[in-house]
Structure 1
């Protein structure tokens, strides 16, 4: 199976013929949405778009309907497009029932399956690996975010200086959907101007959210249990996404780990900031917080955070319970091994 990232698949769609089968893996819905738009554009569905496009969701999946969609002929177009979103919600047995129809697709249909993460150990994957183009759409790395911020800004007719980019990155994180949302707000705020100042950016990005997120991640970084639980309660009360909270904690801990490793390697201030993927003006706080963690602790803490993330996406237990347990593990005196988490 040929594997492509976002830029690769956009280039491939622009220069090569459309494939009959795409397998998308990734939770970054900004990129997933853009790739689906690009595939639909390349499919050239004509004036009868609604007839030539079927979008099916894993939560409402019906095998008979899916097979019918695959067999239908296009109307006034060279092909039809069938998209199965959230395919990770299907059980392994159901996925195995898709192997046969997906193994022999007609040239008049393009099929796209989207998973939050593809399990490459399954019979489904092994049977279809050679037939699909695999598209991997992960969350950008820290050092890639400044470019993404400027790219999204350009799309929305606005530009930022480096200080503004660093501020957006620091307080929004690496989520591209959230980044796009904040940039759209900034563009609307400064319209009809197109150059946003640092003051504009600070004004638009929610001061309540910024303060609480900053206070929460700082409290976790300092292992301040009381402050962490208080800020967590505020975030949940304000409707902050549980998965988003976990993502911000994971990002914060990765930066602390990178800073601590860099210090042990004797890196300069500029080198430390570069390794951690942050602006130098934010380095001081991470240097102070890194002293609260022993050499092994940040990695152990990240395992706890990842366990929480998996639990939030699969467990029926209320999200606030998982988040409170996470904070207790991270800020309590005894950080337990990940395998004991939640017991």
Structure 2
């Protein structure tokens, strides 16, 4: 996982092993920002930074400008640090870095923050940096991987979190790790080390209702709790900005698609791995599979698709979000 690789890079720097080039690339900016910030804050002392640390921006410089800066010698320090932010702006000419990467200045620490793109690993530059420096790819996590990421990050900081609380964060924030981390840091300011983060903490401090959210709606439907499901969608209808229909439909479609997969499993012991969920939540799919036989599950998926089309104006005359959700629940429960 990127988390393990990022920790390894940081631990290596802490131990005094500092590479001449760090090329940080990929779709997930959280790790790129984190590693670059650590290098920016820790490689040089405060006294050394004034003359020996510079931040460049890809939109303002050329690869040749960067190389020229990197070839300079440090002043009254063992190293200089050159950080290139928004380096993806140089994607058309980045291969021009090859000659420098082949023979990097040993007294320079050159850091590229190459967000949302990656180098072509078949080309020469990626291969050279992989040998002489650090080539780090920060891949986006799938949403079903984020709860485990939350638990691991909090564990490293001396906290724990309940599975439901972690799921609430993911449902509200998705797989944007920077946003998730910001909310975790807010909770850490409030809670003492060693505390367990609960749905109550999420509701009180982040503003996500522990009772009225898509996760609870999914559970109510899976358990065939008709009254609870209708109560939740009524709340959604009154707060449409905080509970957009498109998100609810996407979550329910994903849920019932996994219920269908659960039906098809010959070995239910493989459910967590096949469905891509925490073992803690497997029981939700087991219960739903009993309440919705395979044929009914297929019919529910068809109904979700139909409501999705209606929400986009196909075959429906300006129905409200509340009306569409009510229609969907009637189709699911009948």
CA distance in 2, matches of 1:37, 1:121: 29
Q: How many residues align?
A: 278
Deviation at residue 120 of structure 1 after TM alignment: 2.3
Counterpart position of 1:61: 61
Separation in 2 of the partners of 1:332 and 1:267? 41
Question: Contact 1:263/1:272 (CA < 8 Å) preserved in 2?
Answer: no
SS of the equivalent of 2:110 reads: strand
Structure 1, residues 156-209: CA drift from partner, whole Å, max 9, x if none?
A: 66543343234334433333212112223334455799454431223333338x
> In 2, Cα distance between the equivalents of 1:216 and 1:61?
51
Partners of 1:187 and 1:194 within 8 A in 2: no
Q: Which residue is equivalent to 1:39?
A: 39
* Residues 139, 216 of structure 1: alpha-carbon distance in 2 compared, 3 angstrom cutoff: farther
Deviation at 1:66, TM superposition (A): 1.6
Aligned to 2:325: none
How much has 1:7 moved relative to structure 2?
A: 3.3
Q: Quote the residue 1:109 is aligned against.
A: 108
The Cα of 1:37 is off from its aligned counterpart by: 3.2
Superposition pairs for residues 34-183 of structure 1, below 5 Å? Answer: 34-40=34-40, 43-92=43-92, 94-115=93-114, 116-118=116-118, 119-122=120-123, 124-125=125-126, 128-141=129-142, 144-153=145-154, 158-183=159-184
CA distance, structure 1, for counterparts of residue 110 and residue 146 of structure 2: 31
Separation in 2 of the partners of 1:138 and 1:156? 23
Whole-angstrom distance in 1 between the partners of 2:54 and 2:36: 12
Cα distance in 2 for residues equivalent to 1:181 and 1:282: 29
**Aligned 8 A contact 1:28 1:137 in 2:** yes
**Higher Cα radius of gyration:** 2
Question: Any gaps of 5 or more consecutive residues in structure 1?
Answer: 219-226, 295-300, 302-326, 334-343
Task: Extract unaligned runs of 5+ from structure 2.
Answer: 220-232, 315-334
Alignment TM-score, normalising by the size of structure 1: 0.61
The answer to which of 34-43 and 83-92 deviates more is 34-43
Assess if the C-alpha contact under 8 Å between 1:18 and 1:42 holds in 2: no
Judged with a 3 Å threshold, the aligned counterparts in structure 2 of structure 1 residues 256 and 16 are, in CA distance, closer, same or farther, namely: farther
Query: Where does residue 21 of structure 1 map in the other structure?
Result: 21
Q: Deviations over 1:247-272 (max 9, x none)?
A: x999987766555434312353x753
Given that 1:53 and 1:82 are in contact with CA atoms closer than 8 Å, whether structure 2 keeps it comes out as yes
Aligned partners of 2:158 and 2:194 also within 8 Å: no
1:14-37 per-residue CA deviation (whole Å, 9 max, x = no partner) reads 446211112222232222222223
Map 1:180-219; keep pairs closer than 5 Å: 180-188=181-189, 194-207=195-208
Q: TM-score, normalised by structure 2?
A: 0.62
Across the aligned residues of Structure 1 and Structure 2, the Cα RMSD in angstroms comes to 4.6
In structure 2, C-alpha distance between the alignment counterparts of 1:35 and 1:250, rounded to whole Å: 34
* Aligned residue number for residue 320 of structure 1: none
How far apart are the structure 2 equivalents of 1:90 and 1:261?
44
- Secondary structure at the aligned position of 1:112 is classed as strand
